[in-house]
């Protein structure tokens, strides 16, 4: 039977699970600390008081939106989908996700590996720390998880059975449809407010019909396309890193959707952090490094995706004898160009959403001076509009990085 766990009841709950008790060792003396700062769920670190290195993370979904409170009801089903996604990711890309020690759909709890030697990527990037492997590892994770759950890899029946396990993640899909593709582009009570930013957005973005129609185009893609299993909330706050490793966390939004969504979101987060370093850093070294990482993410993603595709002889999408080698090469080339164009469009949506919507990024929302913050927010919105205007004409990642580099090169230090 479901109950909301607290610092006291967590210890009894974990003591009853042999696999978790084995990790913690002596469970007579446990320390519990709430560590989560996310929007949806409660997250705790539980450690052995006598040996703090023996620790686990417990995550529980409650029947409301954590960042708002009980006045915003939200189904606990999101934890069911996180459990299913993390279980699958441990099979598809085990080097990049935490191990599961216990999963309980009835209690909406997940007990998993504690990543004490890692920090949230966003926090490190804000501090100006560079992580040499992060772009490559994120690109590899996205390629493996998207390709291996797509019609280019799986058989038709097996894939539809897998899709069925995620189809009803309806509440979080609705949140995405509203908070990424709808509310930021109109007057809405949920939107963030900064007076100078509001004025600019009202005049330049919310009255721009071409831009809003493109946003609607990408909303339609998100709703209609079922290319592969998405993490669907992939950003620098859902990655834990150190100088060697990258781990992906927080996949409760998991859903079958368009290939470009995950790739575009993480690239946009690197660019929004670059915007923040126009103010946070005395020079452009961090800005340029962040732009370069977006290039690495795509390059590794595309290379690994095509490598996996080349090794796949038969799938729901393609069977031997359908295309000759030249036809297949042409198909792949056009496919990857379209995917890049979709990625750029989804990145544009993500930048606007994180600037105008309820859930911003600490990179910029954490800057106290509202006027400085507004200047950076408007830079984000200008880049979003530039990306959206250009998305269907880019032919290569170098076109995209060239556009972004030129844009930031024209910005002053704030």
Please tell me whether residues 184 and 88 are part of one structural domain: no
Q: Are residues 245 and 103 in the same domain?
A: no
Domain, as residue range, for 107:
32-113
Are both 54 and 185 inside the same structural domain? no
pLDDT tens track for 53-89: 999 999 999 988 776 767 778 889 999 999 999 999 9
Residue 19 resides in a domain: no
- Give the dihedral of Cα atoms 222, 225, 226, 232; nearest 10 deg: -20
- Are 47 and 134 members of one domain? no
Measured distance CA(414)–CA(281) in Å, rounded: 9
Residue 23 belongs to a domain = no
pLDDT digits (tens, 9 = 90+) for 107-159: 999 999 999 999 999 999 999 999 999 999 999 999 999 999 999 999 999 99
Q: Considering the chain, what is the average pLDDT of its residues?
A: 96
Residue 359 in tokens: 């859930």
Q: Please, are residues 134 and 246 in contact by the beta-carbon 8 Å criterion?
A: yes
User: Which of 52, 79, 113 is the endpoint of a domain?
Assistant: 113
**pTM for the structure as a whole:** 0.95
What CATH code is carried by the domain that includes residue 328? Answer: 3.90.1200.10
User: Same domain for 355 and 338?
Assistant: yes
Query: How much of the chain exceeds pLDDT 90, in percent?
Result: 92
Residue 256 forms part of a structural domain: yes
pLDDT at 67: 65
The 8-class DSSP code of residue 79 comes to H
* 381 neighbors 351 (Cβ within 8 angstroms): yes
Domain assignment of residue 83, yes or no? yes
Instruction: For residue 63, give the CATH number of its domain.
Output: 3.30.200.20
On whether residue 10 sits in a domain, the answer given is: no
101 with 138, same domain: the answer is no
Q: Of the candidates 91, 113, 135, which is a domain's last residue?
A: 113
- Quick one: average pLDDT of 258-262? 98
Assess whether 129 and 108 both reside in one domain. no
Give me the percent of the chain exceeding a pLDDT of 70: 99
Cβ atoms < 10 Å from Cβ of 189: 7
Residue 18 lies in a domain: no
Residue at a domain's end among 113, 140, 161: 113
Are 274 and 383 within one domain? yes
Q: How far is CA 110 from CA 100, 256, 259, 262, 360, in A?
A: 7, 22, 27, 23, 26
Confidence band, pLDDT 50/70/90 cuts, at residue 249: very high
Q: Do 174 and 38 share a domain, yes or no?
A: no
Tens digits of residue pLDDT in 232-241: 999 999 999 9
One domain, residues 139 and 100: no
> Could you give the CA distance from residue 273 to residue 289 in angstroms, rounded to a whole number?
11
Number of domains in the chain: 2
Residues 269 and 392 in one domain: yes
Query: Is the same domain home to 306 and 392?
Result: yes
Residue 14 near residue 44, CB atoms below 8 Å: no
Instruction: Please report whether residue 6 resides in a domain.
Output: no
364 in a structural domain:
yes
Least confident among 33-47, 108-122, 282-296: 33-47
- Does residue 38 have a pLDDT over 70? no
């Amino acid at each position: 039977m479901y109950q909301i766990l607290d610092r006291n009841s967590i210890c009894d709950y974990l003591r009853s699970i042999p696999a978790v008790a084995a990790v913690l060792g002596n469970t007579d003396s446990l320390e519990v600390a709430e560590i989560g700062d996310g929007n949806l769920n409660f997250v705790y670190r539980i450690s052995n008081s006598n040996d703090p290195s023996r620790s686990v993370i417990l995550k529980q979904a409650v029947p409301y939106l954590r960042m708002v409170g009980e006045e915003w009801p939200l189904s606990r089903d999101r934890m069911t989908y996180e459990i299913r996604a993390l279980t699958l990711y441990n099979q598809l890309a085990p080097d990049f996700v935490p191990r599961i020690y216990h999963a309980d759909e009835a209690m909406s709890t997940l007990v998993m590996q504690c990543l004490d030697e890692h920090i949230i990527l966003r926090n490190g990037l804000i501090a100006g720390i560079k992580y040499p492997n992060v772009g490559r590892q994120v690109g590899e994770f996205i390629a493996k998880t998207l390709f291996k759950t797509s019609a280019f890899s799986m058989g038709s029946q097996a894939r539809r059975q897998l899709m069925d396990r995620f189809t009803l993640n309806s509440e979080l899909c609705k949140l995405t449809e509203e908070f990424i593709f709808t509310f930021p582009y109109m007057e809405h009570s949920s939107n963030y407010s900064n007076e100078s930013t509001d004025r600019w957005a009202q005049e330049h973005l919310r009255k721009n019909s071409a831009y809003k129609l493109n946003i609607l185009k990408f909303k339609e893609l998100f709703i209609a396309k079922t290319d592969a299993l998405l993490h669907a909330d992939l950003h620098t706050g859902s990655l834990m890193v150190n100088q060697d490793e990258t781990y992906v966390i927080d996949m409760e939004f998991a859903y079958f959707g368009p290939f470009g969504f995950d790739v575009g979101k993480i690239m946009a987060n690197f660019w929004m952090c670059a915007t923040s370093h126009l103010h946070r850093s005395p020079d452009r070294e961090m800005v340029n490094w962040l732009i370069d990482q977006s290039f690495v993410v795509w390059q590794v993603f595309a290379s690994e995706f095509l490598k996996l595709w080349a090794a796949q002889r038969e799938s729901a999408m393609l069977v031997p004898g359908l295309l000759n080698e030249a036809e297949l090469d042409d198909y792949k080339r056009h496919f990857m160009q379209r995917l890049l164009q979709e990625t750029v469009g989804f990145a544009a949506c993500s930048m606007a959403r994180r600037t105008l919507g309820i859930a911003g990024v600490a990179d910029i929302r954490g800057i106290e001076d509202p006027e400085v913050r507004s200047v950076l927010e408007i830079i984000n919105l200008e880049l979003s509009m530039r990306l959206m205007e250009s998305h269907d004409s880019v032919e290569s990642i170098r076109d995209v990085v060239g556009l972004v580099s030129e844009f930031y090169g024209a910005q002053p230090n704030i």
